[in-house]
Structure 1
Amino acid sequence: MENSRRFKILIADDDNISVILLTNYLKNIEADFIIARDGEEALTLFEQNTDVDLILMDIKMPKLNGLEVTKQIKSKNPHTKIIAETAFAMVDDEKKAIEVGCDAYITKPINGERLVTMVKSMLGV
Structure 2
Amino acid sequence: MKILVIDDDDAVLNYIREILRHDGFNVLTTDNGSTAFEKLARNCDVTAVITDIIMPEEEGIEIIKKIKSEHPHIKIVAISGGGKMSPQSYLQLAYAVGADATLRKPFGHKELLNTLQNL
Where is the helix percentage greater, Structure 1 or Structure 2? Answer: 2
Q: What do the CA deviations read for 1:33-66 (whole angstroms, capped 9, x no partner)? A: 1111111111221122122011111111221111
TM (norm. structure 2) is 0.88
TM (norm. structure 1) is 0.84
How far 1:27 moved relative to its partner? Answer: 3.2
How far 1:92 moved relative to its partner? Answer: 2.0
For 1:115, which of 97, 102, 112 is the aligned residue? 112
Segment of structure 1 superposing worse, 25-34 or 73-82 = 25-34
Q: Which runs of 5+ in 1 are unaligned?
A: 1-6
- Matched with 2:99 is 102
RMSD over equivalenced CA pairs, Å: 1.4
1:1-125 → structure 2 map (5 Å cutoff)? 7-88=1-82, 89-122=86-119
Q: Which runs of 5+ in 2 are unaligned?
A: none
Overall identity of the aligned pairs, in %: 30
Secondary structure of 1:74's counterpart equals helix
Contact 1:8 1:54 in 2 (8 A): yes
| Distance in 2 of aligned mates of 1:28 and 1:36 | 19
How far 1:91 moved relative to its partner? Answer: 4.0
- Matched with 1:3 is none
Segment of structure 1 superposing worse, 45-54 or 20-29 = 20-29
How far 1:82 moved relative to its partner? Answer: 0.4
Give the count of matched residue pairs.
116
